[in-house]
Amino acid sequence: MLYCLWIVRAKVRQLVEDSVHAQTTSLLIQCYITRMPTKLFVGGIPYRTSDEELRQTFSQAGEVLSVFIPMDRMTQRPRGFAFVEMTDEATAEKAISMFDGSDMGGRRIAVSIARPMEERPPRQ
């Protein structure tokens, strides 16, 4: 998948530099933009949930690129939420509609598009 995106980027650059195929360039850029990976925030997951379990669950909605379950620094235990990266916005939206508010291991999970981390003051 990453190799494919690299090829599309290179082709778009070449076509833009050539400025001959404006319509083709526009279509390639639209294709590239709509196929960008989308990261989801998954909150309220059971603490015993594994990366593989999340990957299998979310693959019902489409291709999963990555799964990340943050660990607590002190206890080295999962923090109860995760990030799941889907191949594009369409599969991410499908995953949200399928799993937001659903039950996972006896807990109700929340699924949404991940937001960028907000700046925080340095810890003392």
Specify the pLDDT at position 72. Answer: 93
Would you write out the chain's pLDDT as a tens digit for each of its 124 residues?
444 444 555 565 665 556 555 555 555 555 555 568 999 999 999 999 999 999 999 999 999 999 999 999 999 999 999 999 999 999 999 999 999 999 999 999 999 999 988 888 888 7
Specify the pLDDT at position 118. Answer: 86
Q: How far apart are CA 5 and CA 112, in angstroms?
A: 25
* Per-domain boundaries in the chain: 2-34, 38-113
Q: How far apart are CA 105 and CA 49, in angstroms?
A: 8
121-to-110, 114, 118, 124 alpha-carbon distances in Å: 27, 21, 10, 9
Specify the pLDDT at position 120. Answer: 84
Q: Which CATH number fits domain 38-113: 1.10.3720.10, 3.30.70.2190, 3.40.1360.10, 3.30.70.330?
A: 3.30.70.330
